[in-house]
Structure 1
């Protein structure tokens, strides 16, 4: 009696296991079809070896993942509870879920450049929300139809494999297909081993394409996204990060912004080369007739000289050389010139020439206080060794209306505080109060580059508040464009900045400095140096917290740095196409 029961159990189990293999076989085909989403998003690989690897890796990787999913889910369930209807039904729903997940992953990869992961869950959810907001009905309908189609496929294949198992076992084509998959597995691995040794970029650039695959190094990924020179990569050389594609022209003002009324007050941007402490800002805010907004997590990770470019252009340093060579004018200063507003830069610093209290602008540049190219943007520049002359000769209430920048280098808190107090006192005599920004600019050494600093923005009509969200030096121009000039040009059209009064909780900031590529999000700073090494720093603890690779955060950061180039390249392409059509 017992032997008959055991025999029946064994036959049923073997039958279910055999069915499971055929069921998995059909799901490998489905997974390969869905995986074409990733191939389409990536594009056909260049070079013969690259194409061979793409095909063999596509076949081998997806077949392996599908088989592993069967081994880890359906197979144990079959051993534990070998009931035909239960196993077939459970397997259908399990693979429906897995293939649906594969479709979602394909959509995520095509939009963001990386796969589903817990670290970037918030960004992925935002992406889905954006799609729902843009076209809710079609997106929802497409998602539901995809799920139903996959479920129907699973149920049909489950039933077909069960009823035609003997017939399938007699066919020859499954054996041929399995042989091809095994050969692809061996071929793809051999090619990748060879590519690792030879640094064959056409192969290594595909490391991130399929699910559960990651690049060998950060350099591979940076080369793929155009921030590292491919020739230097293949020759194992180190070179500075830079955008390899042609950087588009800087945009000009839109007509709707040219027709706006002239602002009625001035803007004072008062900066210093050292971090301001919260106590000082609190005291200064107390003296102000209008209480300002305190930004507790203001970040500026460039050195003392590159930070000027971030301030004026609201772009990462990677664009600096070309923008300066072309003598492009930031939109903020284009508008100031259009409205005939005065723009000025006044530097207060200790002179290296003891016999000459007032040094010239070339000396200022040589001292790394401010770069010479600023003279092309502002109407007036001045340099003083202390504030006495500024306050005595230029009464703050009679300075011409415009945008005025004051920069304190190597000065004590006393000098800075005395000047700001005088500026705030002058505001009490004005009917229309001015806009005042108080903060630091640049970092003298690398120790403060990953640290958040406080800043204060005093704006008439804005309520007093404290903002904990991540703010950046690139946000100053965009906020002035939006509220000072009331120009509503899209921020990403000319900058990487945001509106300081509408910051996101999950805001990310990216820049390229002399240390390498720095990506900041909340309390985490991700640094990828010129050798492609990862380091994670805490903005609060100011210490290394991890050396693990965070490729999704790196990809988001690279996309953010490329944002201006990609956005304006598309605009330039459309304009070029329109010109060609008009010529015809």
Structure 2
């Protein structure tokens, strides 16, 4: 009996070999595209952190690409062993998958989000304005770009098919496979160690790449009694506020014009008495929050538009809200009855009598006062409300809980969620500054909000408010969700896309 391979078996073998080389080529391309994630994030400040980044970069992207080949292309080779069909389908799938990877990378760079079902609503909200601005020219350009990319994949697939016998002579399959397996095992082993030690240079990379689910000490080591879970949770809850070692403020230079004929008065009540509401010109807005852990931090965060985790690094900086208008010729009037524990800001403080005179004057000014209830009654008059734009709010009276505080204004604001972190962006917007808010604040203008959520910090907690929920994050991934109306713990699942975006937004000013 003569044993010989059938033509079908020969074709399948050849297509499988071609598929491996085609997958390897696309792994290299995918790794290059994924460099966008790497360059969009500050490098870890330790050798082990950088080593993990490289290992995770190569192994995770390589794994995603190869598993795509195994799931979608390999079964098709055995089912339909026709070279033209396989090359066409393989090229189309590769082009689509890499285009999605590139889109996800750009989305992560801009918004800190990855493509997923849980982040779909958030992505639609964030990108709706951009997409609505697209005309047929932009859509035609994107389609043309994809066709060019598909053509490249077809050329690559055909080139490998014609030279498959030649490239098979390169015996590099085992070394390359060994390299990626070693990277994969090493990266997960490093992550287990880092998770057990709560080693932040590695832990902070958890959400860097799409579809990333690294092994953790909590799920692996505790299973075999190698980790004290209670001790692990206690240590983990103390991690977050130790991560700020430097700040870049502003994140980018702030350029804009200021209307020097405009006047804005911002009064923030510092005592616990009820705000005076007896003026028809003042409209009250709900869902405004003071997220700071004490009054001193609340004053500074209101001026900087940055949460209190940054305050220790801001002692040498003057808030953009004060510095920019002053340099552009608009007088600044800042009053506080007590020191703000910030040398640069305390230098520009004025006395109450002078502050009161400037509010009565018809001269344009940006006036910000941390005042008592009695002083508000003296300062807020019908004449003031008719002559100047006024915002009045209050520091939180209950620092143990997170409750909304009053927000009053004599001009139109949005009913969107807001916090004291939004004050600088709102003030500069009223004064005519059109600079990018994200360059100097984590807040947004209350007049023209772009986000339906807000983020801040309270002590070591990260606070995210969205819809009817409040997410409190202790350390990396340790969280609780509360209903904002009744303050009871919620059973809703965590919106990881929202939390990832909020954390990226919050830490945008770290060096």
Q: Quote how far apart the aligned CAs of 1:533 are.
A: 1.7
Q: Distance in 2 between the 1:70 and 1:377 partners?
A: 64
Aligned: 1:72 with 2:71: yes
Q: Distance in 1 between the 2:407 and 2:469 partners?
A: 20
8 Å contact from structure 1 (residues 105, 116) kept in 2: yes
Q: Of 525, 536, 544, which residue of structure 1 is paired with 2:470?
A: 525
Q: Distance in 2 between the 1:255 and 1:86 partners?
A: 57
> CA, structure 1 residues 252+65, in 2 after alignment: closer, same or farther (shift >3 Å)?
closer
How is 1:407-418 mapped onto 2 (pairs within 5 angstroms)?
Answer: 407=371
Q: Quote how far apart the aligned CAs of 1:213 are.
A: 1.6
Q: Of 31, 34, 37, which residue of structure 1 is paired with 2:30?
A: 34
Q: Deviations over 1:96-148 (max 9, x none)?
A: 2112212223333444555333444466565697699799989975x556533
> CA, structure 1 residues 75+17, in 2 after alignment: closer, same or farther (shift >3 Å)?
farther
The range that moved more, 240-249 or 40-49, is: 40-49
8 Å contact from structure 1 (residues 336, 343) kept in 2: no
Aligned pair count reads 478
8 Å contact from structure 2 (residues 238, 474) kept in 1: no
Aligned: 1:502 with 2:503: no
Q: Of 19, 26, 30, which residue of structure 2 is paired with 1:23?
A: 19
Q: Of 484, 487, 493, which residue of structure 2 is paired with 1:539?
A: 484
> CA, structure 1 residues 137+344, in 2 after alignment: closer, same or farther (shift >3 Å)?
same
Q: Distance in 2 between the 1:548 and 1:118 partners?
A: 13
Q: Deviations over 1:185-222 (max 9, x none)?
A: 445445555555666666656554443225678xxxxx
How is 1:314-325 mapped onto 2 (pairs within 5 angstroms)?
Answer: 314-323=305-314, 325=315
What's the secondary structure of 1:479's corresponding residue? helix
What's the secondary structure of 2:398's corresponding residue? coil
8 Å contact from structure 1 (residues 13, 79) kept in 2: no
8 Å contact from structure 2 (residues 22, 157) kept in 1: no
8 Å contact from structure 1 (residues 241, 516) kept in 2: no
Structure 1 unaligned blocks of 5 or more: 1-6, 218-233, 347-360, 383-393, 410-414, 567-584
Q: Distance in 2 between the 1:407 and 1:544 partners?
A: 35
Could you tell me which residue of structure 2 aligns to residue 474 of structure 1? 421
Q: Distance in 2 between the 1:20 and 1:117 partners?
A: 31
What's the secondary structure of 1:545's corresponding residue? coil
Q: Quote how far apart the aligned CAs of 1:435 are.
A: 3.1
Q: Distance in 2 between the 1:404 and 1:95 partners?
A: 57
Q: Quote how far apart the aligned CAs of 1:331 are.
A: 3.5
Q: Quote how far apart the aligned CAs of 1:518 are.
A: 2.0
What's the secondary structure of 2:99's corresponding residue? helix
Q: Distance in 2 between the 1:100 and 1:294 partners?
A: 47
> CA, structure 1 residues 47+144, in 2 after alignment: closer, same or farther (shift >3 Å)?
farther
Could you tell me which residue of structure 2 aligns to residue 226 of structure 1? none
Q: CA RMSD in A?
A: 5.2
8 Å contact from structure 1 (residues 205, 215) kept in 2: no
Structure 2 unaligned blocks of 5 or more: 217-234
Q: Quote how far apart the aligned CAs of 1:470 are.
A: 2.0
Larger Rg: 1
Could you tell me which residue of structure 1 aligns to residue 267 of structure 2? 269
Q: Quote how far apart the aligned CAs of 1:178 are.
A: 3.6
Q: Deviations over 1:464-502 (max 9, x none)?
A: xx733222223334333343x445555445444433221
8 Å contact from structure 1 (residues 537, 543) kept in 2: yes
> CA, structure 1 residues 190+303, in 2 after alignment: closer, same or farther (shift >3 Å)?
closer
Q: Distance in 2 between the 1:102 and 1:249 partners?
A: 31
Q: Structure 2-normalised TM-score? A: 0.71
Could you tell me which residue of structure 2 aligns to residue 107 of structure 1? 106
> CA, structure 1 residues 529+195, in 2 after alignment: closer, same or farther (shift >3 Å)?
closer
